[in-house]
Structure 1
Amino acid sequence: MAEQQTPRSLIVSFYGAYGRRTEGSVPVAELIRLLAAVGVDAPAVRSSVSRLKRRGLLVPERTGRGTAGYALSGEARRLLDDGDRRIYAAGPPASEEGWVLAVFSVPEAERSKRHVLRSQLARLGFGTAAPGVWIAPARLYEETRHTLERLGLDAYVDLFRGTHLGFAATADAVARWWDLDALAKLHLEFLHRHEPVLAAWEAREDTPAEAAYRDYLMALDSWRHLPYADPVLPAELLPGHWPGSRSAEVFGRLHARLRDAGAAFVELGAP
């Protein structure tokens, strides 16, 4: 979660929320204006854009007016589209849905790929069932398969679907596979920061565009990392008073109130 609220992360969040509404590029001057609204200065915007360009996520492209701008690459659009299914999910599954297991073996001569593989599985929401055996809810299978193929890691991994049959109760096993205390802390941090923002908005009748844009972008940037850290397990497998459902509700209400209102601020300077 350390990536959130950095200039680079905020730029990705901006493109995810608003930058896909047009097929064209976003002028550099507009990126600077729009990121200034959330406290990012021009040098930080330019530096972060350069890093995102080197990673192949942004591509330089002239706007319709001929000014310099940046558009999402095809890969970046696919990543954001995949992210939408998690970030804007309706809620946790109603009941246990089965599991997908990732069993991997990486030769010692290629041990650097072992670290990449572990990092990617963790980012996808997998927990550790045993050394070299990772587990996640079955619904993550397709995304896992596509991610491993895209990164050229599929040759080292076997994927299985399965049901937990024992010997421990599944809820007890889940508490070993994931660090639930750490996940709960992430949700509580989100709530501490953004629940008062929601309360303030729901106490007022107007929704000014710039304020809506600023608060929505900050909330989205905090929230979009959580559905990857947290695999969103069925309620019966989680401790009582799990804060994840409350944090999802807070983000959902902020999204409904602020996203479209904030678009008006984005469009003020559109070419």
Structure 2
Amino acid sequence: MAEQHTPRSLIVTFYGAYGRPEQGPVPVAALVRLLGAAGVDPPSVRSSVSRLKRRGFLVPARTASGAAGYALSEEARELLADGDRRIYRSAGATEEDGSWLLAVFSVPEQERNKRHLLRSRLARLGFGTAAPGVWIAPGRLYEETRHTLDRLQLGGYTDLFRGEHLGFAPTAEAVSRWWDLAAIAKQHEEFLDRHGPVLREWSNGPDLGPERAYRDYLSALDSWRRLPYADPGLPAALLPADWPGERAAAVFAGLHERLRDAGAEFVRG
């Protein structure tokens, strides 16, 4: 079945790739044209931009020529900067010290919306569940976790601990309870099935031009950007044999190297 990219997700992905502050506000007409090249019709672009504006992700801004456009909000800039460290991580670049990070939180009942936000944010950071109310992640995620919780003003509800796993079950067995490894592996395999052939086509065939590079890169980035959060980057010794995560990361790295700058030519045009 063909992969589905929602208009709102593609717009967020576009801004992450080509709409950073140094590029200036993106004119509305350019957004319509560029998202149209990715298969999004003009009404869907406009309605998705309106929703992103209401959520505080985009803010109205004028371009240097005075045209109406949209730029990233300060919060969106921070969000994308946080994501860069994971999304553009090179295959095999994970550093491990063998420690685990535990997050335990307590939120008053009258603020249960923050409890939901905490749970969803920890899950999006890649935490697994060690026990009810006890979340776990590789120790190297401490700085990112602390920064994220501080930014969302959730640190006051949370205690963080760093330690080692001492049993009783082998750590590899415990990891398979803390995370749904089969579901994560399936996401990697789906990425490989869809985007692996695209990389081979670009590697083995003629140059397909800036527009095709832009379209293929936007699609790959939109698919990939969630995976480094679903997969916390566990040590290979704790994962099943033939884990597809590094192969998927290598395919994305190859597409990024080949297509990102070529796609920028189409955006500038």
Contact 1:13–1:217 (8 Å) recurs in 2: yes
TM-score by length of 2: 0.95
Offset of 1:78 from its aligned partner?
1.3
Partner Cα separation in structure 2 for residue 116 and residue 183 of structure 1: 22
Summarize deviations over 1:211-230 as a string: whole Å, max 9, x none. Answer: 00000000000000000111
Offset of 1:177 from its aligned partner?
0.5
Aligned residue-pair number: 266
Q: Does 1:229 align with 2:249?
A: no
**Equivalent residue, structure 2, for 1:191:** 192
Offset of 1:23 from its aligned partner?
4.5
Offset of 1:96 from its aligned partner?
5.2
Matched to 1:132, the amino acid is G
Summarize deviations over 1:39-58 as a string: whole Å, max 9, x none. Answer: 00111111111111111111
**Equivalent residue, structure 1, for 2:76:** 76
Offset of 1:110 from its aligned partner?
2.4
Name the SS for the 1:216 alignment partner: helix
Partner Cα separation in structure 2 for residue 97 and residue 205 of structure 1: 45
Contact 1:207–1:258 (8 Å) recurs in 2: no
Consecutive unaligned residues of structure 2, counting only runs of 5 or more, are none
Worse-superposed segment, 85-94 or 218-227: 85-94
Instruction: Give RMSD over aligned pairs.
Output: 1.5
Partner Cα separation in structure 2 for residue 43 and residue 14 of structure 1: 17
Summarize deviations over 1:205-249 as a string: whole Å, max 9, x none. Answer: 324000000000000000000001110111111000001111111
**Equivalent residue, structure 2, for 1:55:** 55
Name the CA shift for 1:98/1:4 in 2 (closer, same or farther; >3 Å): farther
**Equivalent residue, structure 2, for 1:34:** 34
Name the CA shift for 1:54/1:140 in 2 (closer, same or farther; >3 Å): same
**Equivalent residue, structure 1, for 2:152:** 151
Consecutive unaligned residues of structure 1, counting only runs of 5 or more, are none
Offset of 1:184 from its aligned partner?
0.5
Partner Cα separation in structure 1 for residue 152 and residue 110 of structure 2: 18
**Equivalent residue, structure 2, for 1:19:** 19
Contact 2:139–2:162 (8 Å) recurs in 1: yes
**Equivalent residue, structure 2, for 1:257:** 258
Partner Cα separation in structure 1 for residue 40 and residue 104 of structure 2: 42
Contact 1:57–1:76 (8 Å) recurs in 2: yes
Partner Cα separation in structure 2 for residue 175 and residue 4 of structure 1: 29
Partner Cα separation in structure 2 for residue 97 and residue 15 of structure 1: 35
Worse-superposed segment, 71-80 or 174-183: 71-80
TM-score by length of 1: 0.94
Matched to 1:198, the amino acid is L
Offset of 1:94 from its aligned partner?
5.7
Segments of 4+ in structure 1 off by > 4 A?
Answer: none
Offset of 1:202 from its aligned partner?
1.2
Name the CA shift for 1:162/1:226 in 2 (closer, same or farther; >3 Å): same
Contact 2:21–2:71 (8 Å) recurs in 1: no
Contact 2:188–2:227 (8 Å) recurs in 1: yes
